[in-house]
Amino acid sequence: MIKCVIFDLDGVITSSSDQHFQAWCELAESLGHTLDPEVEVYTRGVSRMKSLEIVLDAIGMSGRFSEDEMVKMATDKNARYKELISQFTPDNLEPGMETLLTELKGKGIKIALGSASKNGPFLLERLGIMQYFDFITDPAAVKHPKPAPDTFLAASEALGFLPEECVGIEDAVAGVRAIKSAGMFAVGIGDRDVLAEADIVYPKVSDIDTRDFLAD
C-alpha cells in the first residue's frame, strides 16, 4: 500500500528549466561561448556541479578550471538563477499540482520533495505550497546524486516508510532511474518514449490519475 509520494521539483511542481538554462547560457557567454539549446535536456535532474561539468564539456572547456573556480562558477550561476525565479508566485505552479497535493493530503498520504535543487525550500515558499510537504531532502546531505537512489531513499527513511510504500514523480531520465533504483513505483511526466523506464507516464501533471497507483 502506498503511503508516501516523493516529488521532483523542476519540471514537475513548477517549470523553472528555462530560468536554469538562461543562467547557464549567461555563464557560457561570460566564458566567450554560446551554449547549444540541445544541451538543456542533459542538465535536468542532476546536481549543480554535474550540470556545470556538462556545460563546460559542451563548450569545450572541460578540465580547464580548478575546483575552487568551478564552485565559484556554480555559485554565481545559482545567484543569477535565484534572481530569475525571485518573482515566482503560485501562478507558476504546474497546472493541476495544487489539486493533486490537496487530494494526496486528503487521503492521508505523506508528501516529500526529492530534488537535486538546493533552492527547493525557497521555491516551495514562493509557490505557496510549503504547507503540503512533510519532508524536504537536503541535497547537501545526499552522498550520491541522481540517478543513484539516495535522494529518494533519504525521504522514505526520514518518514519511516519502506521503498515499496513510496511513489516517486519525475520528469527526467536520471530521476526515473533513481526512483527505480530505490525500489519505488516511478511516475514519469513527459514523453513516454524518453521516460520508458517509468512504471507509468503522463504527458502533464494535470493528467495524473492517482487511482493508477494508490489503493482505494
Closest to 19 (Cα-Cα) out of 129, 137, 123: 123
Q: 48-58 and 67-85 are packed helices; what angle lies between their axes, rounded to 10 degrees?
A: 100
Q: What is the pLDDT along the chain (216 residues), one digit of tens a residue?
A: 999 999 999 889 998 878 889 999 999 999 999 999 999 888 876 778 999 999 999 999 999 999 999 999 999 999 998 899 888 999 999 999 999 999 999 999 999 999 988 889 999 999 999 999 999 999 889 999 889 999 999 999 999 999 999 999 999 898 999 999 999 999 999 999 999 999 999 999 999 999 999 976
Which residue has cell 504527458? Answer: 203
Q: Are 75 and 48 in contact (CB under 8 A)?
A: no
Strand-strand pairing, 200-202 and 166-170: unpaired
Question: Cβ neighbours of residue 140 under 8 Å, at least 6 residues apart?
Answer: 118
Active site residues: 8, 10
Closest to 117 (Cα-Cα) out of 77, 157, 153: 77
Tens of pLDDT, residue by residue over 11-35, are: 899 988 788 899 999 999 999 999 9
What is the DSSP track for 103-135? HHHHTT-EEEE--S-TTHHHHHHHHT-GGG-SE
